[in-house]
Amino acid sequence: MHSYYIEECNPEVGHIRGSKVGILEHASLAFGGRIVVDENFDALVVRNLQGELESEVEILSTLAPKLHEELGLAAYKSVFRFDINLINKAITTDYHFSVHVSNNSKETLIFRGFIQPIELPDKVLLIVGSPRSGTSALGKACRKALKAHAHGESHVIEGISKALQGTDVFFEQSITAGINGNLVNAVPKTVLLAEHLNMLRRIYKLYYGNSIHLDKTPGIPMLQSLPFALMAWPNAKVIFCKRRAMENIQSRIIKFPKVSFLQHVKQWRQTFVAWRQSRQIINQLLKRNDWFIEVDQFDMANSPEQVVGKLRNFLILTEGEKKRLFTQLASSDRPEKTSISTSKVKSLEEFNWSHTQLLELKEYCDTEMTLQNYSYSNSYYKNRSQQEEFNE
């Protein structure tokens, strides 16, 4: 089995129409899109990492006058549709390639990428969200349901993602990287990405084998690292755990009393912002949105059967796995529990916070509260019927 990644190096010139990340049965990658040039071009060429012309490739390009009109391009611009097929390459290690527009012996880089031989586990499940939003309870329930070996929290994905960012900085901004003739100057970002993806997959295989990778890591850094994780495992499923601002912030205060109220408020909002940003990036990479699901801590506590029903379809659980998930989720065995569970929902005023704190919460959280259909009253959801319809 193989995975692939394609990067648009010059989006104004070249655009991929399909997914930029995916899984291949064999090392044969076909992709297409469009290119926009100032004049007719000589050819599209594909090169390997050493800069040699790739021979095992089929390239087709056709002028697209209707697309020219649809895009509203200037008269001096030309747009072409193209299809490239890297033919059944026999690879045992990462294969890197780049695509160039060739015109009058001058080449412009428009795409680069790689194909990697990999072993994907049967299931990859990433449980993410804000701290104090039910990630621990759901993580434990999923571990028991799938009989998976996993740690309480991981943070390995965000760690290697940060290592990649640091490596990128050196390879792009160091003095030596700016000198032609140095190897550090010749190494493209996609090589660094491929090597860090290999590292990530090796670590998880070392600890968890080839069957199930279950990672529960709450927090904003993990949410920001999700695109990197989906590049490593395009088959991964993600569960985003969330919770209404007041309950989440109150639980945060109890668990992390040294953090200021305002900081808790800002982090609650930023969690949703980071989640939306990563979700948009991943949707564009995969060209699909069936890789994630959202679960609210309130529903986990008060409607576990409904939540389990959603998760069974999403995770494709067996009947036994579903029963184990429900048994654990409906039990009182809740890790990281900071208060006695109650079905009574309090209004904002009942949290006994200062007037200043109430103003801070509304200032920073009001937009997100509306987007998430959360209420400030003693009704958890602003529009319960709308929420029930959404959960179906």
pTM above 0.75, yes or no: yes
Specify the 3-state DSSP secondary structure of 135: helix
- Across the strands, what pairs with 31? 84
**177/30 same-domain check:** no
Taking only the tens place, the pLDDT of each residue in 37-48 is 887 677 899 999
Cα distances (angstroms) measured from residue 200 to each of 83, 151, 158, 193, 233: 32, 16, 10, 11, 10
pLDDT the model gives residue 76: 81
pLDDT the model gives residue 391: 47
- Total domains, the chain: 2
CA distance 216 to 138: 9
**170/317 same-domain check:** yes
**73/35 same-domain check:** yes
**90/129 same-domain check:** no
At 166, the pLDDT band (50, 70, 90 cuts) reads very high
Cα distances (angstroms) measured from residue 93 to each of 2, 88, 89, 206, 333: 10, 14, 11, 19, 46
- Across the strands, what pairs with 23? 3
Taking only the tens place, the pLDDT of each residue in 58-86 is 999 998 888 888 888 888 888 899 999 99
**33/153 same-domain check:** no
> What integer is the mean pLDDT of 193-208?
96
Residue 264 corresponds to which amino acid? H
Taking only the tens place, the pLDDT of each residue in 364-382 is 999 999 999 999 999 999 8
Closest CA to 366 of 358, 135, 300: 358
pLDDT(338) > 50: no
Output the CA angle 311-156-332, nearest 5 degrees.
Answer: 40
Question: Of 342, 359, 376, which marks where a domain is finished?
Answer: 342
**265/334 same-domain check:** yes
Residue 230: domain span: 123-342
pLDDT the model gives residue 68: 87
- The dihedral sign for the CA sequence 43, 46, 49, 54: negative
- The DSSP code sequence of 185-231 is HH--HHHHHHHHHHHHHHHHHHHHTTTEEEEE--SHHHHHHHHHHHH
**98/165 same-domain check:** no
8 A C-beta contact, residue 5 and residue 113 = yes
Q: What is the CATH classification number for the domain harbouring 197?
A: 3.40.50.300
pLDDT the model gives residue 102: 86
> What integer is the mean pLDDT of 104-110?
86
At 96, the pLDDT band (50, 70, 90 cuts) reads very high
Is position 354 within any domain?
Answer: no
φ, ψ of residue 378 in degrees (nearest 5): -85, 15
Is position 361 within any domain?
Answer: no
**93/213 same-domain check:** no
pLDDT the model gives residue 261: 95
Is position 360 within any domain?
Answer: no
pLDDT(299) > 90: yes
Specify the 3-state DSSP secondary structure of 237: strand
pLDDT the model gives residue 362: 95
- How far apart, in Å, do the first and last CA atoms of the chain sit? 35
Is position 300 within any domain?
Answer: yes
pLDDT(4) > 80: yes
**163/15 same-domain check:** no
Q: What share of the chain has pLDDT > 70, as a percent?
A: 95
User: How much is the mean pLDDT over the chain?
Assistant: 90
8 A C-beta contact, residue 245 and residue 265 = yes
**108/132 same-domain check:** no
Question: Of 73, 96, 117, which marks where a domain is finished?
Answer: 117
Q: What is the CATH classification number for the domain harbouring 97?
A: 2.60.40.10
